Amino acid sequence: NSIQRFAAASALGALEDRDYCGVLRYGKSGTTWLWPKGLTKIGSRRDELLTEILKSVTGDFPDFGPAFKIALEALSEIEDANRRMIILTDGDPYPPTDEVLKKFKAAGITVSVVHPDIHKLGNQGMARRIAVQTGGRYYHIRNGNSKIIGTLFQREVGASRDERQIERN
């Protein structure tokens, strides 16, 4: 949980007020958004969103299918030149279907995957496949170093901003 909170807080810190942010979590009620409105424009709510992130508790996703469907629906409604999902995974959830990944690709939504070796090395294939099929990036982190993970989340947010700026020019 501490690595998850640190990664989400790092990403939020790198976003601009005009950006949207959402955090999906797994708990007793299944897969839900961290805050009630789901994908939320940051605006003046940065401190409030950060507080929610820092006090959040999430379980280990057994299946990425529901989270990807929720994210696809929300991200598809955002009129932005660059839509990106960043996931942090130990590699053991059931993956989203190829059909769902094709919908991400068709909608122009990339998924970058940060994959620390928390349990075992064996599940790289699923995490890498998600990134490759959606045009995202795959990051394999040995030993689960949270500083590196936070930096990668910031890098992904920065890359999104850079791509958006290039498209505007």
The model's pLDDT over 80-134, given as tens digits with 9 standing for 90+, comes to: 667 899 998 888 899 999 999 999 999 999 999 988 876 665 567 889 999 999 9
What average pLDDT does the structure give for the chain? 86
Are 106 and 100 in contact, with CB atoms under 8 Å apart? no
Query: Long-range contacts made by residues 34-41, C-beta under 8 angstroms, separation at least 24?
Result: 38/70, 38/74, 39/74, 39/75, 39/77, 39/78
Residue 25, beta-bridge partner list = 32
> Cα dist. 33→30, 66, 113, 126 in Å?
10, 11, 19, 23
